[in-house]
Amino acid sequence: MKLPTSTEWVLHCATTLAQLEPGATASAKQLAEYYDLPAPYLAKQLQALVRAGVLAATTGPRGGFRLARPATGITLLQLVEAVDGAAPPYECREIRQQGRGALPPEDCRDTCILARKMGEAHDVWRRHLDGTTVADIIAELPPTVPARTRSRMASTGGR
Amino acid sequence: MKLPTSTEWVLHCATTLAQLEPGATASAKQLAEYYDLPAPYLAKQLQALVRAGVLAATTGPRGGFRLARPATGITLLQLVEAVDGAAPPYECREIRQQGRGALPPEDCRDTCILARKMGEAHDVWRRHLDGTTVADIIAELPPTVPARTRSRMASTGGR
DNA sequence: GTATTCTTACTCGGATACACGGTGTCCGAGTAACTATGG
DNA sequence: CCATAGTTACTCGGACACCGTGTATCCGAGTAAGAATAC
């Protein structure tokens, strides 16, 4: 059970985008240089965020990515599931109904208890990540960080 | 983020072993037939449970696997981490300290907030799974199941 | 000076190779039960 | 009848291929800004 490496990338990129002035954009190349990441692959992940409706992309010069919503409406869960998918990690294949020990259908009315427990654990995981927004993250950063982020990001793009 | 398919296998196998009479064993072949699973690969996973100290194995005729502890002391988390490893799914590689946007060390005293949030989510997940024992699972099964399990398992082994 | 047209350079977007870990399989070492035998 | 030695068949345990998913990369379509030009 491993999350893609790119999960960390998009979490930080979204945090960075949220620190820019409203309406400002940052290109994939800018963000890649900002964190020393492979630009083409990072772009692929940002596209996934666009498909998920978390980011908005504009093409052409001065284009790039920006948040599709205010940072208060973007949770960590939305970012994680945009790159990793929303499929639960535990997949019940109903082996209790197969083989010599197959249970009769009347004992399988309810979902398998093991599957339910695993699903509940996944739910509490999701709820925890869904309870934190990008705005909450920024609020906990040292107060000097956002201004510096804007400054450095602007100088990169030759703005 | 996907758990191995074998996770379901070991959860059900542990539940089955817990339903046997104390001291009784079941071989990998028996369990494989019981759930219609590939026997050699299942054996590999059961060996992982032995290394984790959850199961105990005895060789020779009439040998096989049995629980290493009472079912009240075996949690779902121990089973899951035995086959999947205990490494957290989110790995922080400190990209905040790399590239053009690298933060100065004085702003990195505490662990990255994003890493902390992801770690907390993993913790609640682990705690939820650690709060349910194999004994709890059996207690929620229909009352007719354990006797049938013992019967079918015994007839398989030519006991 | 202003509006218009054209060029240009920059952006995203999807299609294409590579590598690692889970999946599936196999054969060998070890052991406990069973059998036959001798006392 | 009982103890003993030998045989046997069954078990786990680790080492060996295969495949799918994430990782990394590339090039093409589209667009908005900017410059040059005509009025």
In a domain? residue B130 = yes
Q: Which is nearest to B84 in space by CA: B153, B1, B4, B16? A: B4
Q: Cβ–Cβ of B35/A95 closer than 8 Å?
A: yes
Cβ of A58 less than 7 A from strand D: yes
Instruction: Specify the residue for token string 């709060």.
Output: B131
pLDDT for position A157: 57
Cβ–Cβ below 8 Å for B101 and A142: no
pLDDT category at B159 given cuts 50, 70, 90 is very low
**Is A111 a domain residue?**
no
CB contact under 8 A, A118 and B76: yes
> Could you tell me which residues come within 8 angstroms of residue A113 by beta carbon, excluding any fewer than 6 positions away?
B137, B140, B141
Higher pLDDT residue, A62 or A17? Answer: A17
Give a yes or no: residue A112 inside a domain: no
- Asked whether residue A121 is assigned to any structural domain, the reply reads no
Is A81 a residue whose pLDDT tops 50? Answer: yes
Q: Cα–Cα distances in Å, from B5 out to A90, B11, B41, B67, B150?
A: 8, 11, 11, 21, 25
Query: Tens digits of per-residue pLDDT, B119-137?
Result: 999 999 999 999 999 999 9
Protein-to-nucleotide distance from the CA of B123 to the C1' of D29, whole angstroms: 46
Cα–Cα nearest to B118, from A55, A47, A4: A4
> Residue A7 pLDDT more than 60?
yes
Could you read off the pLDDT of B110-121 as tens digits, one per residue? 999 999 999 999
Please choose, from the candidates B35, B59, B21, the residue with its C-alpha nearest in 3D space to the C-alpha of residue A99.
B35
Out of B3, B95, B141, the one facing A12 most closely (by C-beta) is B95
pLDDT grade for A158, boundaries at 50, 70 and 90: very low
Through-space separation of residue B3 CA and nucleotide D24 C1' in angstroms: 24
pLDDT value at residue A23: 87
The structure tokens 């010069």 sit at: A61
Q: Which two tokens stand for residue B3?
A: 């758990």
Query: B-chain residues within 8 Å CB-CB of A93?
Result: 5, 8
Say how far apart CA B88 and CA A3 lie, in whole Å: 9
Domain contains B1: no
Residue B63 is predicted with a pLDDT of 87
Position B158 pLDDT exceeds 50: no
In contact, B108 and A2? CB cutoff 8 Å: no
Instruction: Write the DSSP string, A13-78.
Output: HHHHHHHSPTT--B-HHHHHHHHT--HHHHHHHHHHHHHTTSEEEE-STT-EEEESS-GGG-BHHH
Q: Which domain holds residue A70?
A: 6-85+133-156
Mean pLDDT, rounded, for A92-99: 95
Percentage of chain B exceeding pLDDT 70: 98
| Per-residue H/E/C for B60-103 | CCCCEEEECCCHHHCEHHHHHHHHHCCCCCCCCCCHHHCCCCCC
> What's chain B's average pLDDT?
94
A75 φ/ψ angles, rounded to the nearest 5 degrees: -100, 160
- The predicted structure's pLDDT at residue B62: 87
Domain count, chain B: 1
Question: What is the rounded distance in angstroms from the CA atom of residue A12 to the CA atom of residue B25?
Answer: 51
Note whether residue B111 is domain-resident.
yes
pLDDT in tens, B76-95: 999 999 999 999 999 999 99
Please state the rounded mean pLDDT for residues A137-153. 94
DSSP H or E segment with residue B154: helix B145-156
Q: Is the CB of B62 under 7 A from strand C?
A: yes
pLDDT of residue A63: 86
- Is A122 inside any structural domain? no
Domain assignment present for A119: no
Q: Are A10 and A46 in contact (CB under 8 A)?
A: yes
pLDDT tops 90 at residue A116: yes
CA angle A60, A65, A70 (to 5 degrees): 135
Q: If you search the block for the tokens 């790119």, which residue do you land on?
A: A6
> Under a CB-based contact definition with an 8 Å cutoff, are residues A3 and A21 in contact?
no
Average pLDDT rounded to a whole number, residues B25-51: 95
When pLDDT is averaged across residues A142-158 and rounded to a whole number, the result is 85
Pair of tokens at residue B104: 């100065």
Mean pLDDT over residues A109-138, rounded? 97
- CATH number of the domain that residue B34 is part of: 1.10.10.10
Share of chain A above pLDDT 90, in %: 91
Query: Residue A61 — very low, low, confident or very high, per pLDDT cuts 50/70/90?
Result: confident
A61 touches strand C (CB under 7 A): yes
Answer yes or no: is pLDDT of A6 > 90.
yes
Find and give the residue nearest to D13, measured CA to C1'.
B47
B35 in A contact zone (CB under 8 Å): yes
